Chain A
Amino acid sequence: MYSFSVTDFENWRTIARTLLQANVDPSNVSWQPPEQQGLFSPSALEAIIDPAKSVRSSGTHKIPRQFLQRAKQAACFSDMKDPARKWSILYSLLWRIVHYGNGTLLLTSDPEVRCLDSMCKAVSRDKHKMKAFVRFQQVANHNVAVTGQECPEDGAEYYVAWFEPSHAIVESVAPFFVKRFTGMHWSILTPGGCAHWDMEQLTVTEGVPKPDIDTDSFDIFWKAYYCNIFNPARLKEQAMRSEMPKKYWKYLPEAACIHDLTRGATAVTEQMIDAPTTNSDRAREKSRIVAQFQNTLRLKNRIDPDTDNFSDTPP
């Protein structure tokens, strides 16, 4: 039985490659999370390869790119209960691909394939939500102490966001923010790692506890927009909650408005429906300019009311 503690994807990949070359069956490997280091003695990689036994020690296996991409994605998955489970599933799948062919990944009802699938989905959803719900706050320079980053020069704009992703995705999502906010100096802080961009270079540092960030005075514009773009006659709270689960609300300044908007919606709608209607000629009667403007267009548009030739070929 071999034992390994794995830190990240590249680390797993190196170990897995050696194990494959030495033809080590997945049932003979025990994978451990990095914290376990010291509690047991990890196997030495060099010791695994027995040149006499290993047939393919120098050859490399052809692994489908698609698997490696998904494995990399799944490697970001954090499993609170069993943090190293992903590594053993990945190795087992790798082993099966090498021995039984690429078709293994097509077995969509196979437990391991499904597990890979759901890990990838969870990570990709988490990334997507992070891109969506990270909210930058413009902060004053003194706030920089919070991020441990050097102060941008005086008067320069600096933006900071706090976010708690469910999986270890900060490094893989950071390039997205770089490409989008290239001309901005920013930091995204999370408990599992921070990304900083100074308009030249991306730096990734260790995670931090939740900092105290001042709220951004621009919030009020965003809240005003949010409240007014909502149509109370279409209230569908459940649909909102399924796309924007409550756990994200703490990042969203606009979430403070949800309660009032929702509570008042039905009454506002009923009021609108019950209110008296307004004479459609009101403005025409009051202003000759309006009447003239409209009459010119109406005259041009006059057609025989019995025919309906709204055709899609231009005349």
Chain B
Amino acid sequence: MDVLQKLEILADAAKYDASCASSGTESRNSLKTKSIGSTSPGMGICHSYTPDGRCISLLKILLTNFCLYECAYCVNRTSSNVPRARFSIDEVVNLTMEFYKRNYIEGLFLSSGIIKSADYTMEQVVAVARKLRLEHRFGGYIHLKTIPEASPELLAEAGLYADRLSINVELPSETSLKRLAPEKNAQSIVRSMANLSSGIEEYKESRKLARKKANKKLIAPKFSPSGQSTQMIVGADTSNDAIILRKASQLYKSFKMKRVYYSAFSPIPDASSELPLKSPPLVREHRLYQADWLLRFYGYGIDELTDVTNDSPSPGMLSLDVDPKLAWAIRHRDAFPVDLNRADFETILRVPGIGVINARRLVAQRKVAALRYQDLSKLRLPVEKLKYFVTTIDHRPKPAQLDAANFSSLFVAQKSQQMNLFE
């Protein structure tokens, strides 16, 4: 089998992993090494987009899609009928270098099916990164998927070369993991995440100390400077959004995850009898990302965002029709309208359609002159939505509007039209 065929098979096998980010690592360039590759602490670059709207930033492939595990949701599980392939270490290294030189990618995201044993597989993955970094002095981004059961020595070496390490939590509960990924062990996933987290922390702390004491020798061996991330599959089990978000919050808190990725369970070429296929819940996935953001940066609580009414047809779920922030506002109409000239920053932040940047702008601007309705459209805020929720010195929504029984339908109608167009 030639490299082109392998690439086709092993890219196809990797596409269900949602993360392709190359952001937030250390600042590196190739001026000194006279080699290839640079990274920055800011946003990574998307070099292309596929027609699913996803960014291509990294060469995301599997080293091999042979796998001894039987994870029901996965295209690479042992029982799957898909064609199999295995790259040699040099083949991956070459593809990465050649793609990088043409400015197709920011770097490599390498993961692998499990062959022989955890350590054997991990050693192969690490060997690719080792060769890129040590032989080719490759300075681009490297994300390695780690195998929870791999030895600490291999993890340490992986952390030395990789910008980011990740382990997928896969499912929001241990029961689901047991049922759908019977060879995976929830405890060892947790243990490995904890190990990564302490390694990342240790390296970070040592850098801080070195800076403080102005002594570079105090810096510990590099360890995954861009932190760790994980992925949870949505819709393969029956967990509701509250369970998923609670799990995510725990992961953020316990392991300082950079990101928890939500991946709508997607149809695959050959489904398992254990887990028949359906259309991927893309809107639900989108709402989870929105809620995740609100939880981390806007100070919302999980119970505020998910449906907690007892007789609800979908308890513990986020609204699909409107975004979670708007849904909250609709449920808490008594808190509106908000007077943009008086309200504090946190209250303004809860107004649907006003994000952190614009909330700051409004607060800065009202010190210069009292806010008028016109100012909102000048800031390009979505006034059609906003007008029901705010007052300015020359605007006040009609109280009857906000109290109307069919208030929420105002937004649902708009939204679902959009969804038909785009989803």
Residues of A within 8 A of B (CB): 103, 106-109, 114, 128, 131-138, 157, 159, 161, 176, 178-184, 199, 216, 218, 220-222, 224-240, 243-244, 252, 254, 258, 261-262, 265, 269, 272-273, 275, 277-284, 290, 293-294, 297-298, 300-301, 303, 305, 308-315
Query: What 5 A-B pairs are tightest by C-beta distance, nearest first?
Result: A239-B53, A310-B174, A179-B29, A236-B53, A109-B378
Cβ contacts under 8 Å, A234 to chain B: 52-54, 264, 266, 280, 282
> Within residues 32 to 58 of chain B, which ones have a CB less than 8 A from any CB in chain A?
33-38, 45-56
Chain B residue with Cβ nearest A136: B102
Chain A residue with Cβ nearest B371: A109
Cβ contacts under 8 Å, A269 to chain B: 267, 279
Chain A residue with Cβ nearest B278: A273
In the assembled complex, B173 has its CB within 8 A of some CB on chain A: yes
Contacts A109-B375, A254-B48, A272-B269 given: A278-B80 contact, CB under 8 Å? yes
Q: B37 to A180, Cβ gap below 8 A? A: yes
Q: A297 to B282, Cβ gap below 8 A? A: no
Give Cα A237 to B51, complex, Å: 5
Q: Which of B9, B37, B53, B368 contacts A240 (CB 8 A)?
A: B53
Q: How large is the interface on B (under 10, 10 to 19, 20 to 34, 35 or more residues)?
A: 35 or more
Q: A283 to B70, Cβ gap below 8 A? A: yes
Give Cα A244 to B57, complex, Å: 13
Cβ contacts under 8 Å, A108 to chain B: 361, 364-365, 378-379
Q: Which of B8, B15, B185 contacts A224 (CB 8 A)?
A: B8
Q: A220 to B14, Cβ gap below 8 A? A: no
Cβ contacts under 8 Å, B251 to chain A: 312
> Within residues 270 to 318 of chain B, which ones have a CB less than 8 A from any CB in chain A?
270-274, 276-280, 282
In the assembled complex, B72 has its CB within 8 A of some CB on chain A: yes
User: Can you name 10 A-B residue pairings with CB atoms under 8 Å?
Assistant: A103-B368, A181-B30, A224-B7, A236-B423, A238-B422, A273-B278, A278-B80, A280-B79, A281-B79, A284-B79
Q: A294 to B423, Cβ gap below 8 A? A: no
Most buried by A among B51, B175, B271: B51
In the assembled complex, B122 has its CB within 8 A of some CB on chain A: no
Give Cα A238 to B276, complex, Å: 29
CB distance from A250 to the nearest CB of B (A): 13
Q: Is the interface of B mostly helix, strand, loop or mixed?
A: loop
In the assembled complex, B190 has its CB within 8 A of some CB on chain A: yes
Q: Which of B29, B30, B81, B173 contacts A310 (CB 8 A)?
A: B173
Give Cα A298 to B178, complex, Å: 9
Q: Which of B34, B48, B53, B375 contacts A183 (CB 8 A)?
A: B34
Give Cα A128 to B42, complex, Å: 12
Give Cα A136 to B33, complex, Å: 21
Q: A222 to B102, Cβ gap below 8 A? A: yes
Q: Which of B4, B174, B277 contacts A220 (CB 8 A)?
A: B4
Q: Which of B93-101, B209-217, B221-229, B334-342 contacts A (4 or more CB under 8 A)?
A: B93-101
Cβ contacts under 8 Å, B421 to chain A: 238
Give me 12 other A-B pairs in contact (C-beta within 8 A), A184-B36, A221-B4 excluded. Answer: A224-B8, A226-B50, A231-B15, A231-B16, A233-B279, A235-B51, A239-B49, A278-B271, A279-B273, A298-B183, A310-B190, A314-B187
Give Cα A82 to B9, complex, Å: 52
Q: Which of B31, B182, B422 contacts A239 (CB 8 A)?
A: B422
Cβ contacts under 8 Å, B16 to chain A: 231
Give Cα A264 to B212, complex, Å: 58
Q: When each residue 182-198 of chain B gets 1 if its CB lies under 8 Å from chain A and 0 otherwise, what string results?
A: 11111100110110000
In the assembled complex, B68 has its CB within 8 A of some CB on chain A: yes
Q: A182 to B36, Cβ gap below 8 A? A: yes
Give Cα A298 to B99, complex, Å: 40
Cβ contacts under 8 Å, A178 to chain B: 31
CB distance from A157 to the nearest CB of B (A): 8
Cβ contacts under 8 Å, B29 to chain A: 179-180, 182
Give Cα A300 to B184, complex, Å: 10
CB distance from B198 to the nearest CB of A (A): 10
Contacts A224-B7, A312-B250 given: A182-B51 contact, CB under 8 Å? no
Give Cα A254 to B187, complex, Å: 42
Q: Which of A107, A138, A240, A283 contacts B365 (CB 8 A)?
A: A107
CB distance from B374 to the nearest CB of A (A): 8
Chain A residue with Cβ nearest B46: A132
Q: A182 to B280, Cβ gap below 8 A? A: no
CB distance from B419 to the nearest CB of A (A): 11
Q: B51 to A230, Cβ gap below 8 A? A: yes
CB distance from B201 to the nearest CB of A (A): 15
Contacts A182-B29, A310-B177 given: A315-B187 contact, CB under 8 Å? yes
Give Cα A178 to B254, complex, Å: 40
CB distance from A225 to the nearest CB of B (A): 5
Contacts A239-B422, A272-B277 given: A261-B194 contact, CB under 8 Å? no
Q: Which of B3, B78, B273 contacts A277 (CB 8 A)?
A: B273
CB distance from B43 to the nearest CB of A (A): 9
Q: A231 to B52, Cβ gap below 8 A? A: yes
Chain B residue with Cβ nearest A178: B31
Q: B11 to A228, Cβ gap below 8 A? A: yes
CB distance from A85 to the nearest CB of B (A): 20
Q: Which of A103, A107, A225, A311 contacts B7 (CB 8 A)?
A: A225
Q: B101 to A240, Cβ gap below 8 A? A: no
Give Cα A301 to B184, complex, Å: 8
Give Cα A278 to B70, complex, Å: 12
Chain B residue with Cβ nearest A287: B78
Q: B99 to A222, Cβ gap below 8 A? A: yes
Contacts A128-B45, A233-B267 given: A303-B174 contact, CB under 8 Å? yes
Q: B47 to A109, Cβ gap below 8 A? A: no
Cβ contacts under 8 Å, A131 to chain B: 45
In the assembled complex, B103 has its CB within 8 A of some CB on chain A: yes
Q: B190 to A230, Cβ gap below 8 A? A: no
